[in-house]
Amino acid sequence: MENFAVVDVIRAKRDGGELSDEQIGWVVDAYTRGVVAEEQMAALAMAIFLRGMTAREIATWTGAMIDSGSRLSLAVDRPTVDKHSTGGVGDKITLPLAPLVATCGAAVPQLSGRGLGHTGGTLDKLESVPGWRAALSTEEITRQLGEVGAVVCAATEGLAPADRKLYALRDVTGTVESIPLIASSIMSKKIAEGAAGLVLDVKCGSGAFMKTPEQARELARTLVEIGSAHGVATTALLTDMSVPLGRAVGNAVEVAESVEVLKGGGPSDVVELTVALAREMLALAGIDADPAAVLASGEAYETWCRMITAQGGDPEAALPKPKHVHVVPAERTGVLARLDAYAVGVAAWRLGAGRARREDPVQHAAGVLLHAKPGEQVTAGEPLLELHTDAPEVVTSALQALEGAVEVADGPVETRPLVLETVRGA
């Protein structure tokens, strides 16, 4: 590989230039090997943040991050399709979705992550299940996909190591909110997983990373373009995250709610989004099935039990319960007009459901239960929220996070649709 002077690469992007494929391939490889120093990559990341990248640059950058490690080779008899969410509050959709799509005939290799800040992590939620383990070898992933059809686990160490290193750097250098870097981070890991199809759930609203539909649409289009450039059939849904998904925010409480959905019940918004994403995944996999009917039948719950058991968990075991529950009553009678997703996410985080640093532990029993959602009637003095924690001393800070998060109106209120838009590849 040709060598470049890293300062020349930084200057080129700083001055608004377009990096060549060779420059991108070299700088990502050299950074992964430690030849490019942290401060130099920080400068380049800031230049990308300020100057942006073309579609070609982003696709090439993504490819270089994929090439920094290994790719999974998924030798299974079923069509493979995956899903990724950009993160939100109460977003437990992976839990019912993976077994549902597997029940319909696809193989779902869902390599997931942990939560940070106000957004929950799928692995943290599943670790509420006694005995369940996140770390699987490539052989275990492949075997479980063949036998069960779905696996939700941590990414293997060899996948996109450049992204792992760059992600940590972006976090401490103010360069997280860059669509080229966000998109290449997401897609390098997902493409390296080896699935033939990918559906993206791009959130927008107060509880999402992208606050406006315009920002979410730009990210969605960039993600779909990267997928197409790398031969992965990709579709993105823009979905609302101004209100928490479902009625449970946390870890064990979200697992319990997911089980309700898998048994044919659960909150209507969780069911709606699970089915919408499943339809897109099955379309990419070329499978003609009705996910709504399959979910309502409870058949996907059997797949869930097999998936949990295959990873050492006991699907019938009792989930952790909190040592302390604080009830927040409605202050007045009327219709709930607003329940801010970000505020609820921060409250759950402060109760112990999330972490401030990646190495922090989480409380599996911590979280928030919602007794009402926007558009529903509430009565003064009746429970509106339940705060769950093992550390009652943190309740005060959780309540502070919820100040101004709730509005009650006298009459009917207009609620936003859950699925706002669909972006498909060419």
Judge whether 84 counts as a catalytic residue.
yes
Q: What is the distance between the alpha carbons of residues 128 and 149, in angstroms, rounded to a whole number?
A: 22
CA max distance for the chain? 70
Q: What is the distance between the alpha carbons of residues 147 and 139, in angstroms, rounded to a whole number?
A: 12
Q: What is the distance between the alpha carbons of residues 229 and 96, in angstroms, rounded to a whole number?
A: 30
Q: Choose the catalytic residue: 128, 185, 206, 242.
A: 185
* Residue of 72, 71, 56 lying closest to 23 (CA atoms): 56
Q: Choose the catalytic residue: 13, 118, 165, 170.
A: 170
By the 10 Å C-beta count (0-12 exposed, 13-18 middle, 19+ buried), 221 is classed as middle
Instruction: From residue 273, give the alpha-carbon distance in Å to each of 162, 243, 245, 279.
Output: 32, 13, 9, 10
Supply the DSSP symbol for 362: -
Q: Choose the catalytic residue: 13, 83, 125, 189.
A: 189
Q: What is the distance between the alpha carbons of residues 54 and 222, in angstroms, rounded to a whole number?
A: 10
**Given its phi and psi angles, is residue 257 left (phi above 0), alpha (psi -120 to 50 degrees) or beta?**
alpha
Q: What is the distance between the alpha carbons of residues 52 and 68, in angstroms, rounded to a whole number?
A: 22
Q: What is the distance between the alpha carbons of residues 114 and 121, in angstroms, rounded to a whole number?
A: 4
Q: What is the distance between the alpha carbons of residues 422 and 12, in angstroms, rounded to a whole number?
A: 35
Compute φ and ψ for 338, nearest 5 degrees.
Answer: -150, 140
Tokens of 364: 């599996």
Q: What is the CB neighbour count within 10 angstroms for residue 222?
A: 24
* Residue of 122, 94, 188, 112 lying closest to 156 (CA atoms): 112
Q: What's at 258, amino acid-wise?
A: S
Q: What is the distance between the alpha carbons of residues 349 and 87, in angstroms, rounded to a whole number?
A: 14
Q: Choose the catalytic residue: 13, 68, 83, 84.
A: 84
| Cα 249 from chain centre | 14
Q: What is the distance between the alpha carbons of residues 65 and 58, in angstroms, rounded to a whole number?
A: 11
Tokens of 309: 């058991």
Judge whether 163 counts as a catalytic residue.
yes
Q: What is the distance between the alpha carbons of residues 348 and 89, in angstroms, rounded to a whole number?
A: 9
Tell me which residues are annotated as active site. Answer: 84, 163, 170, 185, 189
